[in-house]
Structure 1
Amino acid sequence: MCNPRNYSDTPPTSKSTVEELHDPIPSLFRALTEVDGIKQLNWNIVSFPVVEELSHHENLVSFLDSVNQPQHQNVTVTQNGAHMVHGNDKEHMCTVVYFDDCMSIHQCKNSCASMGASKYRWFHNACCECVGPECIDYGSKMVKCMNCMV
């Protein structure tokens, strides 16, 4: 018999819920995230190389399946599983938005959809991350909401 896992030992920041959004608007997301330094928007924009996102990819099989899709023509998977990205570096940056304040999963989904995001990650401490169209997975697994670090 297995011992039941005690979920109270795991901090809420290590757990999250992810979902793809229907009808993303990549041009809107890019326009909103290219405007840097506007504090009135109450969010934090973070960009990092797609390779970094893939280094945390939990399911290599789903990534390998996605490589065959036309949108990922510049990604090569070597025999040892390393990922190499070719072409313009700006093209291969994963951009995510963290809202400063905590919100419900429903608010997170609606907020990310309204800014044209492709996906979202809602951390179980109520931090919301909107994931841009260039991201292959679900963005970063790091919680970076300014006022929601419980």
Structure 2
Amino acid sequence: MWKIAIFTSILGAFFVIHQAQTCNEAVCGSIVSKCLLTQSCKCDLKNCTCCKDCYNCLSYLYEECCSCVGICPKSNDTETTLSTKSHIEEFSEPVPGLFNVLTEYPDNEKRWNSTTFPINIEINQISQKKEIKIHMQSAEQEVAPIKSNEFITFNCTVAFMSTCMSWIKCKSSCQTMGASSYRWFHDGCCECIGDNCVGYGINESRCRECPLKDGDDDEEDIEEDYDYGQNSDDDID
């Protein structure tokens, strides 16, 4: 029991230290715990002897969670400024059935790319109306068993539109798909979010053909559409 308490304290301190590096604890908590227990990520970029093992351990969440273990290369500020700032909004009348049907299989016309991942939510946190603690894991990960009376698992599905679009177009497209909410990044990337997602999906621009490499005129149009009638209080970093 005392070993669990010590590990929990170490893990908590670990996340506090890396919080300044934009570690997404909600998404990365479970997989990072596993990788710390197996010591797969016990190194840094200066002495990257564990980088391959850490990459394999974090699996498909490497890009999302590498900052939590301190092995993310420093990003170019000019590339991340717009791609990490976004506007979020919920729809009053989502249609989960429609959204699930549209995102269940790859879109034939490649208009969007959908991603589904499991999220474990502590039931006691929901019943007590306290802050919800989120834990992430994939089917391939070997993690400690979770008691059925403590957690409930949901599948969160998000769809990233392939091309850049204005805020108005993003809102309209996601609403048409039956999404529960959407996230529009300031680089023009649009993310439609399903009904079982907590924290408004993935806070990172991952659109296939966006942001635009060329075409400043298109970027100006995107900014103009966003500025029209918008309240900056809805923006988040």
Within a 5 Å distance, the mapping from 1:13-24 to structure 2 comes to 13-24=83-94
Hey, what does 2:100 align to over in structure 1? Answer: 30
Residue of structure 1 equivalent to 2:109: 40
- SS of 1:113's equivalent in the other structure is helix
2:119 touches 2:134 (CA, 8 Å); kept in 1?
no
Percentage of identical aligned residues = 40
1:86 aligns with 2:143: no
Shift of 1:86: 3.2
Question: Would you tell me which structure has more helix in proportion to its own residues?
Answer: 2
Q: How does 1:100-139 map to 2 (within 5 A)?
A: 100-139=162-201
Whole-angstrom distance in 1 between the partners of 2:203 and 2:186: 12
> 1:4 aligns to what?
none
The structure richer in strand per residue is 1
Q: Work out the CA distance in 1 between the residues paired with 2:107 and 2:184.
A: 23
CA distance in 1, matches of 2:134, 2:202: 19
Segment of structure 1 superposing worse, 41-50 or 121-130: 41-50
CA distance in 2, matches of 1:21, 1:126: 20
Q: Tell me the amino acid that sits aligned with residue 20 of structure 1.
A: E
1:28-83 CA distances to partner (integer Å, 9 max, x unpaired)?
1111111x1333141100112224xx8xxxxxxxxx6xx249xx9xxx96xxx675
CA shift for structure 1 position 22: 1.7
1:146 aligns with 2:208: yes
Q: Which has the higher contact order (CA 8 A, sep 6+)?
A: 1
* Residue aligned with 1:45, SS: strand
- Alpha-carbon contact 2:162-2:208 (below 8 Å) kept: yes
Per-residue CA deviation, residues 63-108 of structure 1 (Å, 9 max, x unaligned), is x6xx249xx9xxx96xxx6757735x5xx12100000000000000
1:134 Cα offset (Å): 0.7
Structure 1 SS opposite 2:109: helix
Q: Between Structure 1 and Structure 2, how many residues are aligned?
A: 118
Tell me the equivalent position of 1:5: none
Letter in 1 for 2:109: Q
Alignment root-mean-square deviation, CA: 2.9
Q: Which amino acid aligns with 2:211?
A: M
Once residues 14 and 41 of structure 1 are traced to their aligned partners in structure 2, the CA distance between those partners, rounded to angstroms, is: 24
TM-score, scaled to structure 2: 0.44
Q: TM-score, normalised by structure 1?
A: 0.67
User: Where does 1:53-92 land on structure 2 (aligned, <5 Å)?
Assistant: 67-68=126-127, 83=135, 86-87=151-152, 89=153, 92=154
